[in-house]
């Protein structure tokens, strides 16, 4: 005899209503898991992109500092269109601080509004690309061979200290375009 108000267990399987409820619960759990995974992956990609920019900046700074440390009798020269670290012809020229027009250029920084090309003796060259609003740092082996050190650099500035001309401030900025945060690295270097 059947009691009224009670559900009788089916021996044939699940009812359609039970299957629909189970599927809707499962789909909600999958939707939540996919949204969580999507946010984690986008956060990871953003952090990886920022880390890559910071690594490029560190490599650029390391190359500039290594070039300064490897060479002696150096001096800083700046114009309205470029900045650079040059090397005196010899120790006597360094002692008298006589800068020559043909002194080897160790580091040549092109300003954003300039089309100046580096002197033939340049070792490291920063080339600014107006179309990308960023530049690239190159190692020049000779006039035909250049090797990329770092790219996506927004700006490199060399500034001489007002009180001591032998101290040069190196300021490198990466990012700030393509939805990336700008990252700035600054150090002081003493010219030999």
Contacts of residue 40, Cβ cutoff 8 Å, sequence gap at least 6: none
Identify the bridge partners of residue 159 per DSSP, sorted by sequence position. Answer: 169
- Residue-averaged pLDDT of the chain: 86
pTM: 0.74
The domain spans of the chain are 58-190
Q: Return the structure tokens found at 166.
A: 């032998």
pLDDT in tens, 102-112: 788 899 998 77
168-187: average pLDDT: 84
**What pLDDT is stored for residue 8 in this prediction?**
66
| Widest pairwise Cα distance in the chain | 118
pLDDT in tens, 10-40: 667 788 899 999 999 999 999 999 999 999 9
Least Cα distance to 64 among 161, 140, 170, 167 occurs for 170
Distance CA 41, CA 58 (A): 25
**What pLDDT is stored for residue 2 in this prediction?**
54
Q: Return the structure tokens found at 171.
A: 């300021």
* Burial degree of 67 (CB within 10 A; 0-12, 13-18, 19+): middle
In the structure, what pLDDT confidence band is assigned to residue 41 with cuts at 50, 70 and 90? Answer: very high
Least Cα distance to 85 among 143, 125, 120 occurs for 125
């Amino acid at each position: 005899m059947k009691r009224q108000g009670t559900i009788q267990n089916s021996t044939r399987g699940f009812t359609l209503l039970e299957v629909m409820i189970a599927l809707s619960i499962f789909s909600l759990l999958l939707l939540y898991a996919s949204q969580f995974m999507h946010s984690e992956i986008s956060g990871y990609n953003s952090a990886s992109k920022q880390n890559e920019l910071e690594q490029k900046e560190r490599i650029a700074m390391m190359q500039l500092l290594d070039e300064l440390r490897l060479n002696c009798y150096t001096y800083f020269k700046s114009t309205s269109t470029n900045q650079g670290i040059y090397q005196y012809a010899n120790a006597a020229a360094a002692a008298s601080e006589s800068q020559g027009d043909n002194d080897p250029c160790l580091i040549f920084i092109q300003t954003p509004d300039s089309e100046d090309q580096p002197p033939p003796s340049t070792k490291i060259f920063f080339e600014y690309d107006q179309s990308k609003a960023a530049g690239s740092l190159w190692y020049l082996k000779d006039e035909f061979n250049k090797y990329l050190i770092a790219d996506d650099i927004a700006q490199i500035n060399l500034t001489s200290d007002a009180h001591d001309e032998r101290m040069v401030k190196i300021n490198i900025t990466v990012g700030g375009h393509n939805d990336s945060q700008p990252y700035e690295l600054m150090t002081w270097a003493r010219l030999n």
